[in-house]
Amino acid sequence: MQLESNQLAKVYEPQRFEQHWAEWWIERGFFEAPARLTVPGRTVFSLVIPPPNVTGMLHIGHMLEHTEIDVTTRWHRMQGDQTLWLPGTDHAGIATQMVVERSLKETENVTRQELGREEFERRVWQWKEQYGGTILKQMQRIGDSCDWSRNRFTMDAGLSRAVRETFVRLYEKGLIYRGAYMVNWCPRCHTALSDLEVVHVETQGKLWHIRYPVQGLKGRTVTVATTRPETMLGDTAVAVHPDDERYRDLHGRTVLLPLMNREIPVICDTLADPEFGTGVVKVTPAHDPNDFEAGQRHNLPQIVVIDRNGCMTEAAGAFAGLDRYEARKAVLAHLEAEGALVKTEDYALNVGQCQRCRTVVEPLVSTQWFCSMKPLAGPAIKAVEEGRIVFVPENWSKTYFEWMYNIRDWCISRQLWWGHRIPAWHCAECGGVTVAREEPQACAQCGSKKIEQDPDVLDTWFSSGLWPFSTLGWPDATDELKTYYPTTLLITGFDILFFWVARMIMLGLECMGDVPFRTVYIHGLVRDAERQKMSKTKGNVVDPLVVTEQYGTDAVRFALLRGAAPGTDIVFSEERLTSSRAFANKIWNAARFIFLQMEKLGVEHLEMASVEAPAPVAIEAGGEVALEDGWIYDRLSDVAAKMERAQQTFRYHEAAELLYGFFWDEFCDWYVELKKLRLQQGEHAQEHLSNLLRVFECALRMLHPVLPFVSEELWQRLVKQGAGRPESLCIAAYPQANPAAANPAAVRRMGLFQELVTAARGLRADQKLDPKQRLDGIVYPHDEPTKELVFSERAALEALTNTTFSIGEAAGARAEGASRSTPEFDVVLKLSGAQADAMRQRLEKEIEQLTKVVENTRRQLANEKFTARAPAQVIEEMKTKLADYETQIERSRAALGEAG
Ligand SMILES: [Zn+2]
Ligand SMILES: [Zn+2]
């Protein structure tokens, strides 16, 4: 990829070199982090990746997250910190299991049940080996500066050991227990389904109103409405809202359940919505998730009337043995006969179906594993309260506290085959449970050999909750843990604040006795140009790899970062991409010019002893430096200081704007332009070139964390390899603010010079004069410093404005022409007779037009009918505009007077 000479390709084509550097960085091991501290006391920066699903493909959200992480990581690496970005993937239980099941169905037409558990697991591993690396390859392509030698997977042997260790410890502490829980059950597939495996289909159903007589209040009844009348057989209460006045007389009473003749209590619970139906609802804790929870709140019995085949149980009395839909018909017929069916109406409802076989899902109560959260939440709340973990933006800590204070126990078991199998063995003899780190030979309670491992696996988030320390070798006391734990920073999205971030904090404190990270930076969402969320259905999804191919990775990174202000979503538009690519192109073109000058002057490379912050090379005896050199080195130092602040406060948008402003507006538009002149003039050419190269080199280092590819490509060509030069820009020193480079005098002089040039250019633009036409002008300096500047930099001033200037002495007797005044100087462009006429005409026309507008506005404001009706804001705006117009007229009149 690298061309033989440092002659650059004419056009910036990132496709020609990005891949090369991405591979080379990894090959040379620049991102690898040693297990131990290399130098005692060296600052460590460590961060673990939010592990993407092993089935995943890089999407624009990853691209943003990884760009922010990469910028920060590269910056720390260039600061000289011992830096680790640890990569890896999550086994993503349900997502992966479903992908592999689908592919087995398509290719071999077999189900996982047909294969059996062991064979299926083997197939998933096979699939993982073959396809699981896609997202990692994509991350390498975009230059993520991870230590790839430390790539981890949540099902690795080491991480699985950490999972088992944690489970056993929590179990032994009494924090893991078994309990009843409601799951989605498919009566055909005979399996519990996760919410992800249930599809909700809008269906036209019916709402049946059933009357229950109240006990002890003759003639008083309540009417409940249900879409599933067969479940009434399992009712164990009816509920009314505690504040519903209509039912105050029922508090503490019971009703008689029709058909079953069972007396059930009236409970007060917010489950009943006074606005919905009659305000009374039936409660069936065994067959509805909301009722299940209400049942737990009120200690209601669970009566199971539907079994795992979807048939009615013995508890359904006369209806036992019927299929649930036959039972529905029978129940309705009986209610009708008893006169308990009040009315029937059409009703649209969402019905959950099994994603695989489309059978209607039955909510069933089953035994699941739980983790007690209250004891774990306490220390995790304290860690954030005490500032041992800081959220950025800060308001996320409020969201965190709210959730943590109301935390509920975590159902950690899943009825899947792909995942960490629960290390618990059930005894067929005594029914006891043996929980162990290693597979036990016998029941711990009775010694029986008839034990079998629990079929369930752990929730995926259980293993990712251990990620910051399991990836570093825990439960062994490794060097890595000593060096890199607690990690410095976590960068992630708000959507997994509870699923993942909170659990890492709790489990880190529990297992390691210390927080998993010091700072959590929560990034925003990437939205399209219209600020819409990206979604497949809207068709506005941007594929990061497609735009990367098209615009270059650097441009995509830059476009994302420019919108990445903390606490806001990121607007990602074509326009942002185009202007970001233009920026990379600008850097390329500056390099082309610089390399051309090197060739002209026979300079092959920038020789450097070190890459510390540079100081200007003097061009005159006595250490005198050129106007632009004194200025630019001060600017470099200032930008370095501001970059550091932006970096430390995660103000990525500011970092991007700083670089853009410095490189484009200051370096290219002024510094390079001035150096172009100096080199043309030929005097002190070597010194001028030397400064240009040093500043450019420093700018490339400053750009690197944000635009790693183009900066490396150019830096490798610019700086001579060998002594003093790091092998790659990615391990060179980041420019530091340098107090010695502060040069307020040079900044003032350069500012004045810029004002002079801008004033002269502005005048020319005002008069609509051809930029190529050479003009004559006069500068009247008002003070000594300005006078000195104009004398010493007259050639540069003339070249940059295409004007021949004389220097006027007295400000009183001024030449005629177009003019501008500042406190420091007046500048006048002399105009030919025709030019002056044109200017007069233009000014007169302008005054005439503006006068009309002013008169109109005054008339409107004097009109009371108008001012009475118009909003105050409109009136205010009109007044402001009026004042502006009047100033403009005055200015034009003055110019007209001067034009003679
Ligand atoms: Zn099914
Ligand atoms: Zn036993």
CA of 119 to the centre of ligand 2 (A): 29
More confident residue, 22 or 196: 22
Residue 59 corresponds to which amino acid? Answer: H
CA of 444 to the centre of ligand 2 (A): 7
3-state secondary structure of 283: strand
Looking at all shown ligands, the one closest to residue 184's CA atom is: 1
Dump the DSSP string for 84-124. EEE-EEB--HHHHHHHHHHHHHHHH---HHHH-HHHHHHHH
* pLDDT value at residue 474: 96
CA of 568 to the centre of ligand 1 (A): 42
CA of 356 to the centre of ligand 1 (A): 5
pLDDT at 838 over 80: no
Tokens 């251990």 sit on residue = 466
Instruction: Note whether 505 and 516 are within 8 A (CB).
Output: yes
- What are 366's two structure tokens? 């089953």
Contacts of 181 (CB under 8 A, 6+ apart): 365, 366, 367, 368, 370, 411
CA of 599 to the centre of ligand 1 (A): 73
Looking at all shown ligands, the one closest to residue 188's CA atom is: 1
More confident residue, 871 or 335: 335
Q: Kind of pairing, strands 176-186 and 191-193?
A: antiparallel
How many Cα atoms occupy the beta-carbon half-sphere of 651 within 13 Å?
12
* pLDDT value at residue 2: 43
> In the structure, what pLDDT confidence band is assigned to residue 260 with cuts at 50, 70 and 90?
very high
23, 96, 392, 545, 656 from 60: Cα distances, Å: 22, 21, 21, 9, 19
CA of 425 to the centre of ligand 2 (A): 10
3-state secondary structure of 437: coil
CA of 456 to the centre of ligand 2 (A): 20
CA of 310 to the centre of ligand 1 (A): 12
Instruction: Note whether 829 and 763 are within 8 A (CB).
Output: yes
Buried b (16+ CB within 10 A) or exposed e, 280-293: bbbbbbbbbeebbe
Beta bridge partners of 426: 433, 452
CA angle 832, 838, 843 (to 5 degrees): 125
Looking at all shown ligands, the one closest to residue 451's CA atom is: 2
Q: How far apart are CA 594 and CA 7, in angstroms?
A: 10
Looking at all shown ligands, the one closest to residue 426's CA atom is: 2
- What are 46's two structure tokens? 């460590």
CA angle 46, 49, 50 (to 5 degrees): 135
CA of 164 to the centre of ligand 2 (A): 21
Query: What percent of the chain is modeled with pLDDT above 70?
Result: 96
CA of 416 to the centre of ligand 1 (A): 14
CA of 431 to the centre of ligand 2 (A): 6
Looking at all shown ligands, the one closest to residue 433's CA atom is: 2
Instruction: Note whether 852 and 888 are within 8 A (CB).
Output: no
Contacts of 816 (CB under 8 A, 6+ apart): 828, 830, 831, 836, 898, 899, 900
Instruction: Note whether 38 and 116 are within 8 A (CB).
Output: no
Q: How far apart are CA 510 and CA 166, in angstroms?
A: 9
Other CB atoms within 10 Å distance of the CB of residue 92? 22
H/E/C letters for each residue in 752-795?
Answer: HHHHHHHHHHHHHHHCCCCCCCCEEEEEEECCHHHHHHHHHCHH
Residue 468 corresponds to which amino acid? Answer: P
Instruction: Note whether 304 and 284 are within 8 A (CB).
Output: no
pLDDT digits (tens, 9 = 90+) for 506-538: 999 999 999 999 999 999 888 888 888 887 777
Q: How far apart are CA 647 and CA 709, in angstroms?
A: 20
Instruction: Note whether 559 and 577 are within 8 A (CB).
Output: yes
Looking at all shown ligands, the one closest to residue 432's CA atom is: 2
Q: How far apart are CA 475 and CA 668, in angstroms?
A: 54
- What are 446's two structure tokens? 């009775």
> In the structure, what pLDDT confidence band is assigned to residue 4 with cuts at 50, 70 and 90?
very low
Q: Kind of pairing, strands 825-829 and 818-821?
A: antiparallel
Looking at all shown ligands, the one closest to residue 353's CA atom is: 1
Contacts of 369 (CB under 8 A, 6+ apart): 176, 177, 178, 411, 412, 413, 422, 424, 454, 456, 458
- What are 618's two structure tokens? 């003097």
Strands (E), 284-338: none
CA of 325 to the centre of ligand 1 (A): 17
Tokens 């200081």 sit on residue = 641
Instruction: Note whether 541 and 442 are within 8 A (CB).
Output: no
What number is the average pLDDT over the span 155-183?
A: 94
Among positive and negative, which fits the CA dihedral 514, 516, 521, 523? negative
CA of 301 to the centre of ligand 2 (A): 29
42, 478, 522, 876 from 469: Cα distances, Å: 21, 10, 21, 61
CA of 38 to the centre of ligand 2 (A): 53
H/E/C letters for each residue in 202-215?
Answer: EEEEEEEEEEEEEC
CA of 246 to the centre of ligand 2 (A): 55
pLDDT at 615 over 80: no
* pLDDT value at residue 752: 94
CA of 198 to the centre of ligand 1 (A): 9
Beta bridge partners of 367: 180
Edge to edge, the sheet with strand 424-427 lists 433-435, 424-427, 451-453
CA of 434 to the centre of ligand 2 (A): 8
- Residue (of 66, 130, 84) closest to 545 by Cα position: 66
CA of 368 to the centre of ligand 2 (A): 20
Looking at all shown ligands, the one closest to residue 186's CA atom is: 1
Lowest mean pLDDT among 545-549, 762-766, 895-899: 895-899
- The helix/strand count (H/E) of the chain reads as 29, 29
* pLDDT value at residue 813: 53
Instruction: Note whether 820 and 844 are within 8 A (CB).
Output: no
What number is the average pLDDT over the span 763-791?
A: 87
Phi-psi sector, 793: left (phi>0), alpha (psi -120 to 50), beta? alpha
- Residue (of 828, 835, 824, 832) closest to 814 by Cα position: 828
CA of 417 to the centre of ligand 2 (A): 25
803, 840, 900 from 836: Cα distances, Å: 17, 6, 9
Helical H segments across 563-618, by residue range: 574-600
pLDDT digits (tens, 9 = 90+) for 561-586: 998 888 888 888 889 999 999 999 99
CA of 172 to the centre of ligand 2 (A): 18
> In the structure, what pLDDT confidence band is assigned to residue 155 with cuts at 50, 70 and 90?
very high
- Residue (of 49, 53, 155, 135) closest to 94 by Cα position: 53
CA of 285 to the centre of ligand 1 (A): 23
Backbone angles phi, psi at 540, to 5 degrees: -110, 20
Instruction: Note whether 410 and 500 are within 8 A (CB).
Output: no
Looking at all shown ligands, the one closest to residue 199's CA atom is: 1
Instruction: Note whether 741 and 723 are within 8 A (CB).
Output: no
> In the structure, what pLDDT confidence band is assigned to residue 1 with cuts at 50, 70 and 90?
very low
Q: Which residues surround ligand 1, an ion (CB under 5 A)?
A: 186, 188-189, 354, 356-357, 359
What number is the average pLDDT over the span 698-707?
A: 96
Q: How far apart are CA 50 and CA 61, in angstroms?
A: 12
> In the structure, what pLDDT confidence band is assigned to residue 613 with cuts at 50, 70 and 90?
low
- Residue (of 291, 102, 283) closest to 182 by Cα position: 291
Q: Kind of pairing, strands 424-427 and 433-435?
A: antiparallel
Q: How far apart are CA 461 and CA 483, in angstroms?
A: 25
CA of 449 to the centre of ligand 2 (A): 8
pLDDT at 609 over 70: no
* pLDDT value at residue 138: 92
CA of 191 to the centre of ligand 1 (A): 8
pLDDT at 28 over 80: yes
CA of 443 to the centre of ligand 1 (A): 34
Instruction: Provide the residue count of the chain.
Output: 900
Question: Is the backbone peptide bond immediately before 393 cis, with ω within 30 degrees of 0?
Answer: yes
Looking at all shown ligands, the one closest to residue 425's CA atom is: 2
CA of 150 to the centre of ligand 2 (A): 42
Q: How does DSSP classify residue 624? A: B
CA of 726 to the centre of ligand 2 (A): 65
* pLDDT value at residue 120: 94
CA of 364 to the centre of ligand 2 (A): 28
* pLDDT value at residue 814: 61
CA of 208 to the centre of ligand 1 (A): 27
114, 476, 629 from 623: Cα distances, Å: 85, 60, 12
Looking at all shown ligands, the one closest to residue 445's CA atom is: 2
Q: How far apart are CA 712 and CA 703, in angstroms?
A: 10
Looking at all shown ligands, the one closest to residue 442's CA atom is: 2
* Mean pLDDT of the residues in the chain: 90
Instruction: Note whether 584 and 711 are within 8 A (CB).
Output: no
* pLDDT value at residue 3: 43
Instruction: Note whether 655 and 564 are within 8 A (CB).
Output: no
What number is the average pLDDT over the span 213-242?
A: 93
Beta bridge partners of 807: 779
What number is the average pLDDT over the span 69-87?
A: 96
Dump the DSSP string for 250-295. GTT-EEEETTTTEEEEEEE-TTS-TTSTTSEEEE-TTT-HHHHHHH
Q: How far apart are CA 366 and CA 420, in angstroms?
A: 20
Helical axes 574-600 vs 685-703, angle rounded to 10°: 150
pLDDT at 869 over 90: no
CA of 420 to the centre of ligand 2 (A): 24
Looking at all shown ligands, the one closest to residue 355's CA atom is: 1
CA of 288 to the centre of ligand 1 (A): 19
What number is the average pLDDT over the span 754-778?
A: 87
pLDDT digits (tens, 9 = 90+) for 354-385: 877 889 999 998 888 989 999 999 999 999 99
